[in-house]
Structures are given as C-alpha cells and as structure tokens.
Chain A
Amino acid sequence: MMQLGPHAAFIVTAYAAAIAIVAALVAWIVLDQRHLARLLEEFEARGVARRSGRADGEKW
C-alpha cells in the first residue's frame, strides 16, 4: 500500500479534484455531442437538408 505521510488528505483531495474536473469535461463533451446528433437527426427526419449537401459517407 502506498504511504502518503502526514499530508495524505491534501494529496488525495488534489487527485480527486483532478479526476472530477476531467470527468466533468468528458461528460460535457459527450452529452453535448449526443444532444447535437439528436437535433441533426430530427432535422433530417423533417426533411431539412443543408444547402451545401453531404459529403460521401457523411451522416448529416
């Protein structure tokens, strides 16, 4: 087991804070992506298409 000495609480809190910040960032980007993909699919279903059109193999 790793020995963190008398300042273990500071070390553990620092790592926990770093993990929480990265987790929040990843969650925000993933949720944002899902939200935008859903909106684009809804537009697609309603027959709204971009004027520039889609490239080969492009979903939207």
Chain B
Amino acid sequence: MSLIQLANPSRFLAVSGRALPWLSAATVLVFAIGIIQIYFAPDDYQQGATVKIMFIHVPAAWLGIFGWLLMSAAALGTLVWRHPLADMAGKAAAPIGSAFTLMCLVTGSLWGRPMWGTYWVWDARLTSVLVLFLMYLGVIALWRTIEDPTQAARAAAVLTLVGAINVPIIKFSVDWWNTLHQPASVLRLGGSTIHPAILVPLIVMAIAFTLLFLTLHLAAMRNEIMRRRVRSMMMLQAAAPAES
C-alpha cells in the first residue's frame, strides 16, 4: 500500500483501526519490561535512587521534542501538499506533545529539588523547554480560535515551522550556554556516558514512551477525522432546509 493510498481518511481509519490494538498491546508489554528493569536498576553513585526519575524524565523530554518534529513534518504536508490528513496529524500531535513536555518539566523540577537544591532555575535548557510547552499551548489555542479547519491548519502550520527553531536550541542549549542542566549523556558523539545497567532500562522506557505516543497519536488522528465528519454533517443538516 502506497503512502498516497494510506493518506485517504477512510483508508487511514481502516488501517489504524487494525493497528491500534496491536500497538496498544506492544506499549503495555514494553512498559511492563521497562518497569521491571527500573525496579532492578542500581542507584547512581552520586544521585542515589533519584536517578529513577531519569527513566521518565528523559523519555518525556525526547517525546516532547519528537512531537514538535512530527508537527513540523505535518506542517509541510499542510502547506506544500494541502492534505487534510496532514492537518489532522499536526492537530492531533499538539496536545500529546504538550502533555509529554509538561511531564518533562514536572519530573525535572522534582529531580532538581533534591539534586540542585531548587525546583526551577532560568537556565537555557529549562527555559527553552518551557518555551516549547508554551508554544504547544499556542498551537492548541490557534486551532481552537479559527473555526474553519483548513484556515486553522495553515495558521498552525506556519506557527509550528517558526517554532521549530526552538528544537536545536533545546538540544544544544547545554553546549552553547553555561547551564545548571547536565550536558548530553545519551545522544552524543563518542557514545553514551551512562553505564549499561542504567542505560538499558532508559532505552526500554524510551521505546515504551514512543509506542505510547504513536498509539495516542493514531487514536487522536482518528478522532480528528470523526470531528471533520461531524462538522460536515452539521453543515449538511444546516443547509438541508434551505435546499428543500
């Protein structure tokens, strides 16, 4: 099946309907494996048991950024090909990405208090992630403000692509500025600096979070297709007396 065929909303509903149960089951299974691994993972020699917060904080941060990258790809689909499924992909990803970014901010704050002595500091990494969260809220607000979904999609796509400039800022903020946040220790040139006993559960949890994101995104995209159908049926119903 080609991508163009899958991009048909009816076809997408059929394929995603078959994929969702399997994707949900895989998400639960990988989360179960990850939680067992977290249980047996050793404490960090400096941070003690608080390192366990990393297993949710880091995947949440990755998925917060992944959400925006996905929205940026969808924004290109909206602006270049003007495909309604791209609009729906962008709209559906925004609340999910914002939830993962919020999770990153909350868990990071709760990790920062015992390790840094403060819940929050206005350093480059923390501030750029907060900006990402606020931009998510901005995109969600834009979608809700403009009634016509096609116009809303274009406005949201432009805002998304402008906001994509924040993604490299988040990634490299710890290298470009002197921050309280530690530098990259997993995705870095020269390999990870984390011991496999902690790295393996982290990777498993990252896979589990990614599966969760994809499952929720597929379900939310199906909702968006249904919402458009409700809208078109409402318009048909409203127009019916005038036609008869």
Chain A interfacial positions (CB closer than 8 Å to B)? 2-8, 10-11, 13-15, 17-18, 21-22, 24-26, 28-30, 32-33, 36-37, 39-40, 43, 46, 48-51, 54-55, 57-58, 60
Is B219 close to A, CB under 8 A?
yes
- Least distance between A53 CB and chain B CB atoms (Å): 9
Residues A43 and B230 in contact in the complex (CB < 8 Å), given A14-B57, A28-B95, A36-B223: yes
Residues A7 and B39 in contact in the complex (CB < 8 Å), given A13-B110, A26-B216, A43-B237: no
Q: B interface, by DSSP: helix, strand, loop or mixed? A: helix
Is B180 close to A, CB under 8 A?
no
21 contacts between A and B (CB under 8 A): A3-B49, A4-B49, A7-B49, A10-B50, A10-B110, A11-B53, A14-B110, A14-B111, A17-B110, A18-B103, A18-B106, A21-B102, A21-B106, A22-B99, A24-B99, A25-B99, A40-B226, A49-B233, A49-B236, A54-B10, A55-B10
Residue count of chain B within 8 Å CB distance of chain A: 41
Per-residue CB contact flags for chain B residues 66-104 toward chain A (1 = under 8 Å, else 0) read 000000000000000000000000000001100100110
Complex Cα–Cα for A56 and B113 (A)? 56
Is B144 close to A, CB under 8 A?
no
Which residues on the B side are within 8 Å of A3 (C-beta)?
A: 49
Complex Cα–Cα for A24 and B96 (A)? 11
* Contact between chains at A60 and B229 (CB < 8 Å): yes
Is B117 close to A, CB under 8 A?
no
Chain B interfacial positions (CB closer than 8 Å to A)? 10-11, 13-14, 39, 43, 48-50, 52-53, 56-57, 60, 95-96, 99, 102-103, 106-107, 110-111, 113-114, 212, 216, 219-220, 222-223, 226-227, 229-230, 232-234, 236-237, 240
Which residues on the B side are within 8 Å of A7 (C-beta)?
A: 48-50, 114
* Contact between chains at A25 and B53 (CB < 8 Å): no
Question: Which listed residue, A21, A48, A55, touches B11 by the CB 8 Å rule?
Answer: A55
Residues A55 and B14 in contact in the complex (CB < 8 Å), given A10-B114, A11-B52: yes
Q: A interface, by DSSP: helix, strand, loop or mixed? A: helix
Which residues on the B side are within 8 Å of A4 (C-beta)?
A: 49, 52
Which residues on the A side are within 8 Å of B114 (C-beta)?
A: 6-7, 10
* Contact between chains at B13 and A40 (CB < 8 Å): no
Question: Which listed residue, A24, A33, A50, touches B236 by the CB 8 Å rule?
Answer: A50
